[in-house]
Amino acid sequence: MGFQEELNNRRTFGIVSHPDAGKTTLTEKLLLFGGAIQVAGAVKSNKIKRSATSDFMEIERQRGISVATSVMAFEYKGLKINILDTPGHQDFAEDTYRTLTAVDSVIVVIDVAKGVETQTEKLVKVCRMRNTPIIVFINKLDREGKDGFELLDEIEQKLGLTVTPLSWPIGMGQRFKGVFNLYDQKLVLFQPHGKQNVEESIEITDVENDERLDKEVGENLAAELRSDLEVVNEVYPDFNREEYLDGAVSPVFFGSAINNFGVLELLDCFVDVAPGPLPRLTEERRIDPKEDKFAGFVFKIHANMDPKHRDRIAFLRVCSGTFMRNTNYFHVRQSRKMKFSNPTSFMASRKTVVEEAYPGDVIGLYDSGNFKIGDSLTEGEVLHFKGIPSFSPELFRYVNNKDPLKSKQLAKGITQLMDEGVAQLFVKEISNRKIVGTVGALQFDVIQYRLKHEYGASCDFEPVNLHKACWVSADDDVAMKEFLKRRKRDIAKDKDGQWVFMAESAWALKLAQDNHPKIEFHFTSEY
């Protein structure tokens, strides 16, 4: 298969939503239809012994939530599909924001009963800033929820999307009979109680007059559907693929992921309309996926994907050209050549070595500490990819070692987990005490759990009263020395040895800025 054909066959997308909207369940069912797995697992581990394929960390299985982005690849209808299942919980939003830089389109999952929730609004805002094409999947139709039109209004108002329904529900909850697939003009019937294997569908091109509709769903629901479809055809725009690719219109599907229902329609439409690999912007120029020369960037780092081997994997999105195994590539930040003997493709935690990868693919590179999030690999050109966010921590805790005999393990574990970008480490200049800063409180639980189970190190977190961590720099060396001397009590270093001012309050920060006008205060480390 030629390069252009490989390019045309790639679809890379992320699945995002508020926690518990059914995002990971939908991922499982897409993998099931793609033949990548034989049995879908339940996300809540207390319900069934099989846990979700994409929730591969032990803590995810225990809590029934995703705390790290998973990457899964499968083939469907001759296409290579890469799914990135992201954490929904707001405490892990940083991971999700970064992942959105590596996808070409997004599926947003919404709970029919809860409608649009806060975290969904934030994530869609990030997608809209980048004009990422969005498909909406309204989930859990087998339960009672909001009216279809009410949900579409909510999506348009809260998410700022222009929607066009490509399927429409027939009833809901106990009355749920199926959906009418507007994209293919088919009636798809729902079978409750998990009997859904292959959806039974009846082609109906004339909804108004075809009596089979009344026979299959009953006269009342048939009349309701005809009335609803009339409104849909009048109020909402016809689906236009170009507008979807520009991020101007979003198709909407209805279904029930846990029952395998409506997922096939979504997948079939997705492979038809979703974009292949899209261009990426760098500070230097625009990178087109059709270019001959390889370029890619690291958007995620994960330590201990396989705790037995203590491996550290850098997730790299291929943006142009062909990545080849055992070939020298240029690490832009370190300005040196590197070769990779076992690059991998993913099926959650299951990995297989790949010989080559094409634009749109996400590959794992075994890393001994050379990579940071945002790093570029090229064939020699100096490129810096744009739009990979980093956040200033909002919550801070002192790290106390509970077992002095395991100091080395704790130091190693803290360093490796911080490299993943989920939290940041600061060491106070006076006391040498370690402080961990995160965006969300749940991160501390995850760090504590992983330190114990992956590194054998026990620690406690002690609250510390801090408002902000600000990286400081100055063109004037004398002014910098004076600042560090006068503010010694509030000074720390991050894991890269950069100076950081730990402000106890907004007032203390403003006072420092006023008293030291030659010092620049930065709210992310990438200044």
Instruction: pLDDT tens for the chain, 527 residues: list them.
Output: 688 888 889 999 988 887 777 777 888 888 887 665 554 443 333 333 334 444 444 444 444 433 344 677 888 888 888 888 665 444 445 666 777 888 899 999 999 898 888 778 877 887 887 788 999 999 998 888 899 899 999 999 999 999 999 989 888 888 888 888 888 888 888 776 554 455 566 767 676 767 777 777 788 888 888 888 889 888 999 899 999 999 899 999 998 888 888 888 888 889 889 999 999 989 899 999 999 999 999 988 876 655 555 567 888 999 999 999 999 999 999 999 999 988 888 654 456 788 899 999 988 888 877 888 888 999 989 999 886 666 667 789 998 888 888 888 888 888 877 777 777 889 998 888 999 888 777 778 878 887 888 788 888 889 888 888 888 999 999 999 999 999 999 999 988 888 999 999 999 999 999 999 999 998 776 65
Q: Kindly state the tokens that stand for 486.
A: 């006068």
Sign of the C-alpha dihedral, residues 488, 433, 399, 451?
positive
Is-contact 384 284, C-beta < 8 A? yes
Domain 280-378 has CATH 3.40.50.300: yes
pLDDT tens-digit series, residues 431-462? 889 998 887 777 788 788 878 887 888 888 89
Is-contact 434 403, C-beta < 8 A? no
Taking the C-alpha atoms of residue 67 and residue 442, their distance in angstroms, rounded to an integer, is 9
| Ranges for all domains in the chain classified under CATH 3.30.70.3280 | 395-522
Taking the C-alpha atoms of residue 40 and residue 26, their distance in angstroms, rounded to an integer, is 10
Amino acid (1-letter code) at residue 166: L
Residue with tokens 């000074």: 491
Is-contact 138 255, C-beta < 8 A? yes
Backbone angles phi, psi at 388, to 5 degrees: -95, 110
Q: Please state whether beta strands 323-324 and 356-357 pair in parallel, antiparallel, or not at all (unpaired).
A: antiparallel
Question: pTM of the full predicted structure?
Answer: 0.74
| Ranges for all domains in the chain classified under CATH 3.40.50.300 | 7-11+13-75+86-174+237-273, 280-378
Taking the C-alpha atoms of residue 65 and residue 119, their distance in angstroms, rounded to an integer, is 14
Neighbours of 165 (CB within 10 A): 27
Q: What is the largest CA-CA distance in the chain?
A: 86
Apex CA 359: angle with CA 356 and CA 363, to 5°? 55
CA 162 vs. chain centroid, Å, equals 23
Contacts of 309 (CB under 8 A, 6+ apart): none
Q: Please state whether beta strands 520-522 and 468-473 pair in parallel, antiparallel, or not at all (unpaired).
A: antiparallel
Taking the C-alpha atoms of residue 342 and residue 363, their distance in angstroms, rounded to an integer, is 10
Superfamily of domain 395-522: Peptide chain release factor 3, domain III (3.30.70.3280)
> How confident is the prediction for the chain on average, in pLDDT?
81
Amino acid (1-letter code) at residue 429: E
Neighbours of 344 (CB within 10 A): 19
- How far, in Å, are 74, 279, 409, 413, 434 from residue 402 at the CA level? 44, 49, 12, 14, 14
Contacts of 334 (CB under 8 A, 6+ apart): 370
Q: Which alpha helices (DSSP H) does 181-336 contain, by range?
A: 212-217, 219-235, 241-245, 263-273
Rg (CA), the chain: 25
Alpha carbons within 13 A on the beta-carbon side of 184:
19
Apex CA 146: angle with CA 145 and CA 147, to 5°? 125
Query: Among 335, 338, 305, which residue's Cα sits nearest to residue 324?
Result: 338
Helical packing angle, 442-455 and 407-419, nearest 10°: 130
SS3 state at 69: coil
pLDDT tens-digit series, residues 217-267? 788 888 888 888 889 888 999 899 999 999 899 999 998 888 888 888 888
DSSP secondary structure code for residue 20 in this structure: T
End-to-end CA distance of the chain: 43
Taking the C-alpha atoms of residue 35 and residue 18, their distance in angstroms, rounded to an integer, is 27
Amino acid (1-letter code) at residue 361: D
Considering the domain delimited by 7-11+13-75+86-174+237-273, tell me its CATH architecture: 3-Layer(aba) Sandwich (3.40)
| Element housing 395 (H / E) | strand 395-401
Is-contact 168 255, C-beta < 8 A? no
CA 419 vs. chain centroid, Å, equals 18
Query: Among 491, 461, 479, 463, which residue's Cα sits nearest to residue 520?
Result: 479
Query: Among 519, 435, 434, 437, which residue's Cα sits nearest to residue 484?
Result: 519
Q: Kindly state the tokens that stand for 9.
A: 């066959």
Helical packing angle, 23-33 and 263-273, nearest 10°: 80
Helix, strand and coil percent figures for the chain, each rounded to 5: 30, 30, 40
